[in-house]
Structure 1
Amino acid sequence: MEQWPMVKSGFQKEKEFDASSSSSKDEFTIALSGNANVGKSVIFNQLTGSNQIVGNWPGKTVEKAQGKLYFQGQKIHVIDLPGIYSFSTFSMEEIVSREYIAYEKPDVVINVLDASVLERNLFFTLQLMEMEVPLVVCINQVDIARQKGIIIDEKKLEKALGVPVVSTVAVRGEGLRKLIEKAVKAAENPENVPEIIKYGGEVEKRIQNLSEMIESKKISLKYSNRWMAIKILENDPEIIKNIKNESPDIISYANQLAYQIEKIHQEPSFAVMASERYTLANFIASGAQVQTKIDIPFSERLDKILTHPVLGYFTSALVIIGLLLWTFTIGDFLEGILSNAFSFFQPVDPQFSGAITAILWNGAFGGIVAGVTLIIPFVIPFYLMLSYIENSGLLTRVAFMMDSFMHKIGLHGKALIPLILGYGCNVPAIDSTRILETRRERLLAAFAITFAPCAARTILILGLVAIFVNIWWALALYVLDLIIIVIMGRLALKATPGESTGLIMEMHTLKLPSFSVILKQTWARTKSLIYLVFPIYIVGSALIQAFYAMGVLEPVSNFMAPLTVGWLGLPAFAGVLLIVGAVRKEFILLTLVSFVGTDLTLALNTTQFIVLAIVGMLYLPCFSTIAILIKEFGWKAASLITGANFTTALVVGGLFAHILPYFL
């Protein structure tokens, strides 16, 4: 039997359900919509708890989050739409949001606004009202607004908009019960759509004329006539294409009206429409809010330092270095504990002889241990700190400061977020490139991520170079890797046609994030990693050991000798190391120990330690990374990225093999 969660986190618990309080309709769908970073996801998590499903919208790469709750005898489906700023067709998130509202017709849309930037958020509210859907406005983060001296009068805003308005502090659950009550009431009366808010006379007259013509033609699109009229006047390509297929004369008439608007205002019609909305948003906001005089809060003083033209680069570097130091310090401590615990129960060194079942089991168990000793010690601490930095507002400041640097490889500052994720694990980092606007940018970011030294590569660098050479050479490899990312990014940029988009990112207020939100985000990211990575580690480890026991890998290793011995200057068994390393990079170290024991200086000299670490750091992405590349971009792109990694590793490794002996 399907279980629905009780409402919680700030709600008064329901002791009994009063049948008389239930409506005639006992199941609703609520869509949460609004700009990015307004607390929409916090509200979603508070309402749905752990009862969530996160996937993709059908046929789209945009993430879909849906959950459910049980409130006063009613089942409520909650859909968290992507954070957007308009209903244009500039991004997939905007298309997904407007198509869902128009075609799926949720019973009510809750528009979440940031109380501290009311005017800016109302620009999107007006567009939602144009769609003529049942609407409730949620003014969130009113506590932060008060700290800035901003007080919003709910009643005045409600009167100006003509829709229910509720103030909330979502991180504490304040106002959420009232919000759901208002939403359910609006859902019960779907005919009570927002009143039409009219724009300036010249514009409004032409919107009405075009709306009437669209209505007379009986256009089959499910959007409201007024909304379609506005979109045509704004020159929205998708709406124009769809209407042209049904009634070309509407477009001809719209072009005449748009020309008239442009002639009157001396501006493009889309700019005129945007100006009309901003003017109205300013008028509504100024009438509903009061600005009181207060001292400049600490968060604003800190913000000036974080975005300072000079100091901002130092603070950004400190944030990134702090994230990595936290991850590796905590990770190294936990990894030692977990490795010792698992070795107590079962040896996990590669087993290359004996019964085939023992070989397979040992390989599979090794995959389990490898997964656990990566995800728990390295990935979870990384995601915890990343979620804190992200929800506090620090990460957007870092992305803003790094924007000019990222443009050198065809990306903007926002791409820094998945690139930093890549230092924990490439798989979720590539998955998170969905925050970027175009496939080209996602592909360039994914390409750069595959060169980022993830936790597994870090173990290899530390185990080979930091221990057996010195820590300075280990740090030098990280600098080398960063240089390679820039160089390969530049080459990929020249090979990939298209233009880079500008950085559009909401700089929400610095704040202490909710610990519960951090935990939920960390679990959601870790869970998706477990589902993808663990099966590949387990199966891949078992197959590698089975292939070696059957004598398959040794001939391959001998075949690779001209490359590994001749060009890279490594021992003959290095071919096997690179083969097993394709499953997981630290398997190179694990297999090497099984061959020669813990004193690796018996098998490798200083140059070979460094060269093996360079090749292991750069060559073939692990099986899990290749799998996510295929899933997100297809076989062709995955093959090209894999080939580029392999070629770079061999070229750089070979050059160091021939140059280092002169310096060491």
Structure 2
Amino acid sequence: MVKLPECIEKSEYEKNISSQTPEVKIEPADITIALAGNANVGKSVIFNNLTGSEQVVGNWPGKTVDLAEGTFHYNGQKLHIIDLPGIYSFSTFSMEEIVSREYIAHEKPEVVINVLDGSVLERNLFFTLQLMEMGVPLVVCVNQMDIARQKGFHIDTEKLEKALGVPVVPTVAIHGEGLQKLVEKAIDVAQTRKVVEVPVEYGGEVERVVKQLEEFLDNEGLDLGYSNRWVAIKLLENDPEINKQVESISERAIQYSTYLALELEKIHDEPSFSIIASERYALASRIAAGAQKQDKYKPTLSEKLDKILIHPLFGYFTSALVILGLLIWTFVLGNFLSEIITEAMSFFQPVDAALSGPVIAVLWNGAFGGFVAGVTLIVPFVIPFYILLSYIENSGLLTRVAFMMDSFMQKIGLHGKALIPLILGYGCSVPAIDSTKILETRRERLLAAFAITFAPCSARTIIILSLVAIFVSIWWALALYVLDIIIIFIMGKLALKAMPGEATGLIMEMHALRLPSTSTILKQTWNRTKSLIYLVFPVFIAGSALIQVLYVLGILGPISNFMAPLTVGWLLLPSFAGILLIVGVVRKEFVLLTLVSFVGTDLSLALTPVQFIVLALIGMLYIPCLSTISILIREFGLKAASVISAANLITAFIVGGIAAHLLSFIL
């Protein structure tokens, strides 16, 4: 039987705290506050509201993989805010869980704010109990109270505070409600250093075994930076990382913990980690039941929509419509904006270096031509894409698409959650590959990264839209995206055969659908667009000028002649295409940049419709840019990065050559 604190009267646990921990105020000083909790509970929203930073807020699991830090001042007090990754436990199954528990244990923030989703209180309390086991200064923030009320839940935060024995503050962070009180409570806890010594007490055999092991660890003088009670629980759960740390200090502790765990397993006839988890769930359920009531259940609009969005049949159509809608929106609106901007910049025409002189040619064709190319060929397409992508992320649609695509992703050894970094790869491969950290195993991360390198990032999208959508047709551009999905599937199947193994099941938070705020969409779009603009425009201007210099000096001709058997003979492209492919390895935009430097913005003077399509297809598939190769080496090593790059290159030339010969009979 689990010993539970009462929700109505002051618990024995609270009485122990008041007697054991004197509230001694300390002088004002810098305070570090860590935000911890499950994914999608609103930690990043709170972080942004408090710090005013530009942290991206996304509505899908595992968004915060790395630590995000910000500062702000409140009543003369400087506060450091750390937004920890969204996790569900303190196990070592993922990098996020390790990062969070190591930070709390070893960096020792003055207070931890545990953010809960009020609409799923019982499930979130499972993690709260683990924080309490660690004995950290704690404030519980019950966020998304508006959604809880919509679902008919009435949460008595006073009863919840009595049950937990730590301050509890209700908030609606997206509207800023309750955040001032939350900060005040956090400062108060930090200044009094009110730490719970015995935060969670289980019942029966479990509590007896935990106390026996804790006492043994105390006698051994064990100090891992965690409380010995927490270490005892993790040993009983057979946590591999804690086992390793304890074994290096005391083998006797490992032997004794194994003996006690086996004793528990004989009594309960189940694994010891499952026994501990059951104790936590029982306690979380009892606390939640005592602190909340629910009116007669009425399905929310989000739940009604989910009957269609994740329906076994209709869900596939809605997911396909979301992805197709993202592409069509980008093509149609981008093409419309591009025509307007191109008309406005129609005064720009390249000049002949022989007539105007090399300096004028470099400055006009190169530097100013690079700027015109950026304005007319990048901005019109990138901004619409990022606007709608931000909406899909923050509304919760992306999570539904990932869920429905799980069966498809399983065929290439992944699960639906891998679709998240794959779709992010349509923006940029570098952060997409970095975001594969949300996947559980190195094998899954490597398979996902391999698929991402075939996804057309914004730079490749620029090439597709600028070459095909503008000079051939939108539908041929869309056809390239469809072909790319087929290629990703085929290459994924081949990679799966080369790296056989069993894919893990899909476990992810299905957050309620919501209309994201316009400010969030615009801020996220600007954060993504500005980094591209700040990088691409200087590169376009400087790179275009450099290419003009090489052109004037006559260096580019021999390179083109050397690659002619491949570019002209097999790919049926003009002879100068070899130069385009070489410079494109640095950044894919250089393909377009160099082409504009050669012939101006009216590219139809140099290429036929078939050549536009083939060049875009090659640019979409061939070797990743240097920044992508760099992160592949960092994450997976030189060998894996080389194999992935070679696969991209070979695929591009095989598919490009076949397409060139087939299309020559069609167009």
Residues 351/462 of structure 1: CA separation in 2 closer, same or farther (3 Å cut): farther
Residues 361/279 of structure 1: CA separation in 2 closer, same or farther (3 Å cut): farther
Structure 2 counterpart of 1:557, from 560, 564, 582: 560
Letter in 1 for 2:293: V
Q: Which moved more, 1:496-505 or 1:219-228?
A: 496-505
Structure 2 counterpart of 1:43, from 46, 52, 64: 46
**How far 1:136 sits from its partner (Å)?**
0.4
Structure 1 counterpart of 2:301, from 285, 298, 305: 298
- Quick one: distance in 2 between partners of 1:348 and 1:194? 75
Letter in 1 for 2:499: T
- Quick one: distance in 1 between partners of 2:216 and 2:230? 13
Q: Residue 220 of structure 1: SS of its match in structure 2?
A: coil
Q: Is the 8 A contact 2:544 2:594 kept in 1?
A: no
1:34 equivalent in structure 2: 37
Q: Is the 8 A contact 2:331 2:474 kept in 1?
A: no
Q: Residue 572 of structure 1: SS of its match in structure 2?
A: coil
- Quick one: distance in 1 between partners of 2:403 and 2:351? 45
1:153 equivalent in structure 2: 156
1:382-421 alignment runs, 5 A limit: 382-421=385-424
- Quick one: distance in 1 between partners of 2:257 and 2:107? 28
Structure 2 counterpart of 1:619, from 609, 619, 622: 622
Q: Is the 8 A contact 1:134 1:194 kept in 2?
A: no
TM-score, scaled to structure 2: 0.87
1:224-623 alignment runs, 5 A limit: 224-336=227-339, 355=358, 359=362, 363=366, 376-466=379-469, 469-496=472-499, 498-526=501-529, 528-529=531-532, 537=540, 540-585=543-588, 587-589=590-592, 591-592=594-595, 595=598, 604-623=607-626
**How far 1:540 sits from its partner (Å)?**
4.5
- Quick one: distance in 2 between partners of 1:618 and 1:350? 33
- Root-mean-square deviation (CA, aligned residues, Å) is 3.1
Q: Is the 8 A contact 1:108 1:183 kept in 2?
A: yes
**How far 1:384 sits from its partner (Å)?**
2.8
**How far 1:603 sits from its partner (Å)?**
5.1
1:19 equivalent in structure 2: none
Letter in 1 for 2:221: K
**How far 1:584 sits from its partner (Å)?**
4.8
Q: What are the superposed Cα offsets for residues 480-523 of structure 1, whole Å, 9 maximum, x if unpaired?
A: 21111111112222223554322221111112223333344334
Q: Is the 8 A contact 1:111 1:138 kept in 2?
A: yes
- Quick one: distance in 1 between partners of 2:593 and 2:362? 16
**How far 1:555 sits from its partner (Å)?**
1.1
1:211 aligns with 2:211: no
Q: Which moved more, 1:430-439 or 1:249-258?
A: 430-439
Identity %: 71
- Quick one: distance in 1 between partners of 2:431 and 2:323? 18
Structure 2 counterpart of 1:637, from 640, 651, 667: 640
Letter in 2 for 1:26: A
Structure 1 counterpart of 2:112, from 106, 109, 112: 109
Q: Which residues of structure 2 form unaligned runs of 5+? A: 1-24, 58-63
Q: What are the superposed Cα offsets for residues 577-622 of structure 1, whole Å, 9 maximum, x if unpaired?
A: 3334445546545655665677766655554443333223222334
- Quick one: distance in 1 between partners of 2:543 and 2:503? 38
1:193 aligns with 2:196: yes
- Quick one: distance in 1 between partners of 2:312 and 2:428? 31
- Quick one: distance in 2 between partners of 1:242 and 1:423? 41
1:4 equivalent in structure 2: none
- Quick one: distance in 2 between partners of 1:349 and 1:234? 73
1:8 equivalent in structure 2: none
- Quick one: distance in 2 between partners of 1:631 and 1:348? 41
Residues 279/208 of structure 1: CA separation in 2 closer, same or farther (3 Å cut): same
Q: Residue 409 of structure 1: SS of its match in structure 2?
A: coil
Q: Residue 68 of structure 2: SS of its match in structure 1?
A: strand
Q: Is the 8 A contact 1:452 1:481 kept in 2?
A: yes
Q: Is the 8 A contact 2:629 2:645 kept in 1?
A: yes
Q: Is the 8 A contact 2:547 2:597 kept in 1?
A: no
Residues 361/471 of structure 1: CA separation in 2 closer, same or farther (3 Å cut): closer
Q: What are the superposed Cα offsets for residues 219-246 of structure 1, whole Å, 9 maximum, x if unpaired?
A: 2310010000000000001100111110
- Quick one: distance in 1 between partners of 2:247 and 2:521? 47
1:222 aligns with 2:225: yes
- Quick one: distance in 2 between partners of 1:632 and 1:519? 31
**How far 1:269 sits from its partner (Å)?**
0.3
Q: Is the 8 A contact 1:387 1:522 kept in 2?
A: yes
- Quick one: distance in 2 between partners of 1:412 and 1:492? 15
**How far 1:185 sits from its partner (Å)?**
0.6
Letter in 1 for 2:283: L
Residues 432/331 of structure 1: CA separation in 2 closer, same or farther (3 Å cut): farther
Q: Residue 36 of structure 1: SS of its match in structure 2?
A: coil
**How far 1:655 sits from its partner (Å)?**
1.9
Q: Is the 8 A contact 2:345 2:372 kept in 1?
A: yes
1:76 equivalent in structure 2: 79
**How far 1:654 sits from its partner (Å)?**
1.6
Equivalenced residues, count:
636
**How far 1:629 sits from its partner (Å)?**
3.8
Q: Which residues of structure 1 form unaligned runs of 5+? A: 1-21, 55-60
2:135 equivalent in structure 1: 132
**How far 1:565 sits from its partner (Å)?**
1.8
Q: Is the 8 A contact 1:363 1:543 kept in 2?
A: yes
Q: Residue 615 of structure 1: SS of its match in structure 2?
A: helix
1:90 aligns with 2:90: no
Q: Which moved more, 1:275-284 or 1:320-329?
A: 320-329
Q: Which moved more, 1:142-151 or 1:564-573?
A: 564-573
Q: Is the 8 A contact 2:237 2:272 kept in 1?
A: yes
Q: Is the 8 A contact 1:349 1:594 kept in 2?
A: no
Residues 351/585 of structure 1: CA separation in 2 closer, same or farther (3 Å cut): farther
Residues 546/597 of structure 1: CA separation in 2 closer, same or farther (3 Å cut): closer
* Higher RCO (CA 8 Å, separation ≥ 6 residues): 2
- Quick one: distance in 2 between partners of 1:78 and 1:398? 32
Q: What are the superposed Cα offsets for residues 371-430 of structure 1, whole Å, 9 maximum, x if unpaired?
A: 566664333433332222222211111100001101222221112122222333434433
**How far 1:279 sits from its partner (Å)?**
0.7
Residues 274/371 of structure 1: CA separation in 2 closer, same or farther (3 Å cut): farther
Q: Which moved more, 1:475-484 or 1:606-615?
A: 606-615
1:165 aligns with 2:168: yes
1:5 equivalent in structure 2: none
- Quick one: distance in 2 between partners of 1:187 and 1:550? 67
Q: Residue 140 of structure 2: SS of its match in structure 1?
A: strand
